[in-house]
Amino acid sequence: MTGGGLLVAGTTSDAGKSVVTAGICRWLVRQGVKVAPFKAQNMSLNSFVTREGAEIGRAQAMQAQACRVEPTALMNPVLLKPGGEQSSQVVLLGKPVGELSARGYHGGRQQQLLGTVLECLAELRGTYDAVICEGAGSPAEINLRRTDIVNMGIARNAGLPVLVVGDIDRGGVFASFFGTVALLSRQDQELIAGFLVNKFRGDVSLLEPGLDMLHDLTGRRTYGVLPFRHGLGIDEEDGLRISLRGAVRESEVSSPFGEDVLRVAVCAVPLMSNFTDVDALAAEPGVVVRFVDRPEELADADLVVVPGTRGTVRALEWLRERGLARALVRRAAEGRPILGICGGFQLLGEHIEDDVESRRGQVEGLGVLPVRVRFAREKTLTRPVGEALGEPVAGYEIHHGVAEVTGGEPFLDGCRVGRTWGTHWHGSLESDGFRRAFLREVAAAAGRRFVPAPDTSFAALREEQLDRLGDLIEQHADTDALWRLIESGAPQGLPFIPPGAPA
């Protein structure tokens, strides 16, 4: 028997699809429904490693947590990791299979993956009571419709009803809803069941005349109006433009547990990956996290984090161009704390031999850590566990660079020299005891009377966020109507809205 399903699409990128999908998942699992998330194709540098060693988007991993199930590669069969303006690494069922330009991908390769995507979705629907799918961008990207495997392409092939989410905080939501439907073919329109308004501020009664008119114009109802809530989110898909928004990134800094705050500066390197590593720092009361791109912004930082990147050599050049490289070398010599994670760890080393990612051959690093890095074609995808600073710690690794550590003190898989630490482990700061021990060392080195709070649980904060998302759906959406959609599909007889698009 095939389980029910729903595709959450959006009028635009960043309309709230990931958050709404997670909220629906958490609402369903609290009703006793066995549910799983799914995104056919994700473009993101923010990824995660499953227990079986597969790389998927972090948003899908967090949606799996909302479902209270273990994430698997089936939930995100295609992951695209941009390496620049023109190309991306294609990760299929959790493993990299090559680099493709946008033209090459949309010119044929994408359509070839449709069978794999549908098989993954069918396997999930055969295992779970419901599968909540997330689209990408907008379903009305008519230039890409022919090769689409993530929006209406998957909905048509799998017979999924589609709920369109619009961000009213941006403005123009009614035009976006209407235009999204009107630009789709008759066959696609038959699956557009209705709309969900996201991020509404104010009195809902003032919105109702517009919702009634939208229903009259399209024959489709609005399934809910979700209010704007600060600090709500899950691990986002991409980049610095959203790095200060979301579950932890938008939260106000709580008062410090000790006498001082601790200031953390994160170098905003190009192609930054897994910027969520610093969320666990921002979750600590009294820790102020900011992203920086100028050397003078490092001056008052108690800790500088050099994060992961999809382009280690490019990030190294960027640091040098900006004057940040000199500031980091000077900071290390002065014994002021620096933490390099993954690509950030690699570029702090002596040299990098890269014939894989940048194909630049041997490049001199910053020489802060006694490490030599050689890029291998095989990607390391693991979930290591260990101990550091006297505390248990767990993380995950996603990298082509193989590090040869020739000195310093051991630190996770990397090393430390003085007050500079380097590791390939993403997510290590989510281990509460280790994070507190690390921050105590940083505070001591910085001369700050900062004391980590003894009871901050990052995992509990994640769960609270997911429950808040579930509450939004339960309290502000028509959940009975949503369940009918999931169980029975789109309503019959939905009107066609001209002009439509060719079938």
Q: Is 215 a catalytic residue?
A: no
Give the Cα separation of 329 and 317 in Å (integer). 14
Assess whether 426 carries a catalytic annotation: yes
Cα–Cα dist 212/217, whole Å: 9
Q: Rounded to the nearest 5 degrees, what angle is found at the Cα of 199, between the Cα atoms of 224 and 43?
A: 100
Mapping DSSP to helix (H, G, I), strand (E, B) and coil, where does residue 315 land? helix
Q: Determine the Cα–Cα distance for residues 307 and 324; give it in Å rounded to an integer.
A: 14
Helices (H), 56-113: 58-67, 102-104, 110-112
Nearest to 238 by CA among 270, 274, 266, 280: 274
Q: Which of 399, 424, 426, 476 is catalytic?
A: 426
Integer Cα distance of 161 and 5 in angstroms: 7
CA distances from 201 to 2, 27, 255, 300, 475 (A): 39, 22, 28, 37, 16
**Hey, what are 440's tokens?**
């105590």
* b/e 324-333 (16+ beta carbons within 10 angstroms → b): bbebbbebbe
Residues 6+ apart with CB under 8 A from 101: 86, 87
Question: Which among 120, 267, 342, 415 is annotated as catalytic?
Answer: 342
Catalytic residue IDs: 342, 426
